Amino acid sequence: MKTKKQVTKQIRKILKVCTLSVTLMSTILMSTSASAEGSYVESEPYNTSKIYGYSYSFTSGIVRNDINRPAIKAFAYVHNKASGSGNVPIGYMGGQAVLYTSGGQLHGASDMKYNDEEVWGFHVYSPVSESTGKYYSQSRAEFYNGDDYDYFTGKKSPIMTINLNKGVLVDVEEADLPELMLEEEYDVNSKGETYGSLLLENIIGEEPDLISAVGTDGVEGYVRADDLTPVTSIEEALKQTIENGEVRTIPLYDVDGETVIGEFKLETKFEYITGTE
């Protein structure tokens, strides 16, 4: 016979599966913005309340990089939600495009890009992936609050599949929920550092110290959360100048957080949007 604690835990897992299933169907039915050729997919917008005088919106998406070959990249679309209020001051908006495998590992990401011009919004793109598999994106964003930054994780995009024989297809049959989405806490290594998928951030309430990722050479390991978003103040954001197309590599670690087993590429391409839309 199961104990009361075991029954309670099982009920929580069932409820979590139901919630994830509803969210998944909502994403599939409501947030796909794909052309007939399947050139891109995009999540529903994540809308913020007013932050230091501005309200923002951002989405997560995947775009086909080249119509002639199976290659995709993630994008984050970040902008001033109030279209009639014009451009946002320098350094107020940050956006990061993140591409995940269907198993929840980081596969590619941009740096957190802050607007170094007064703009209404911008697109920022991750590195291109040409590896066979299923992928989706989940953007991250930061917005200046007058002191530092309010941080947000966006909504997941629908899946895109890379098939070297058939090209890129839009996959709206995401039937299996990853087992990791039922986890309630991260694993901990021998040094007391948490590790796991960044996709659990919204479920557990914080990101792990070590984030599961696939390195540039296909090796599976972990990147440090601090290496992904090093800027914590507007002063640092204004000092940071990321050129269009700039590439930065960070270490890929074993689970101990010390042994370097490869590297992870951060490539940042962006397009500014000025005026109103």
Contact between residue 65 and residue 73 where contact means Cβ atoms under 8 Å apart: yes
pLDDT in tens, 193-247: 999 998 888 788 889 999 999 998 899 999 999 998 767 788 998 888 789 999 9
Taking 70 as the threshold, does the pLDDT of residue 76 lie above it?
yes
Contact between residue 168 and residue 129 where contact means Cβ atoms under 8 Å apart: no
pLDDT in tens, 160-178: 888 877 766 665 545 344 5
The predicted pLDDT at position 16 comes to 38
Task: Quote the tokens at residue 95.
Answer: 């956006």
The predicted pLDDT at position 239 comes to 85
Query: How many angstroms separate the CA atoms of 203 and 10, rounded?
Result: 16
The predicted pLDDT at position 56 comes to 97
Taking 50 as the threshold, does the pLDDT of residue 255 lie above it?
yes
pLDDT in tens, 39-73: 888 999 999 999 999 999 999 999 988 777 788 99
Q: Minimum mean pLDDT among 23-32, 126-135, 201-210, 236-245: which range?
A: 23-32
The predicted pLDDT at position 228 comes to 86
Which residue in 246, 268, 223, 248 sits closest to 112, CA to CA?
A: 268
